[in-house]
Amino acid sequence: MSLAGKRSDQGDSYQGLVAMKWVIRLLEDATIDFIQVQSTGIPGFDASVSVDDIVVFFKSGTKYFIQAKKNQPKHKDGHSATKFYKRS
């Protein structure tokens, strides 16, 4: 695997951990309706959308669009970023 491929794979692993956190929360939180991982479409929205790593749909209609990235400045381990975009 190329160096770029290895770094991409590490980011995918981090994204999987963030998704798992939300899946566990789904099991415990009755306000969450469902979760999409690697979402390319939103139910009830006919146009295509950019890929969001994780979309959390709440029963209230609120949605969290989550970008989970592993950032390695100067290729050093230990840096990650998760951005949340809330839409009601």
The confidence score (pLDDT) of residue 53 equals 84
The rounded mean pLDDT for the chain is: 75
Q: Is the pLDDT of residue 40 over 80?
A: no
Measured distance between the N- and C-terminal CA atoms of the chain, rounded to whole angstroms: 41
Flag whether pLDDT at 70 surpasses 90: no
Count of structural domains, the chain: 1
- The length of the chain is 88
Residue 27 pLDDT exceeds 90: yes
Spell out a b/e string for 51-73, using b for 16 or more CB atoms within 10 Å of the CB, else e. Answer: ebbbbbbeeeeebbbbebebeee
Of 50, 51, 58, the closest CA to residue 37 belongs to: 51
Query: Comparing 63 with 9, which gets the higher pLDDT?
Result: 63
pLDDT of residue 72: 55
| Total H helices, total E strands in the chain | 1, 4
Residue 4 has pLDDT above 70, yes or no: no
Which domain covers residue 61, as residue numbers?
3-87
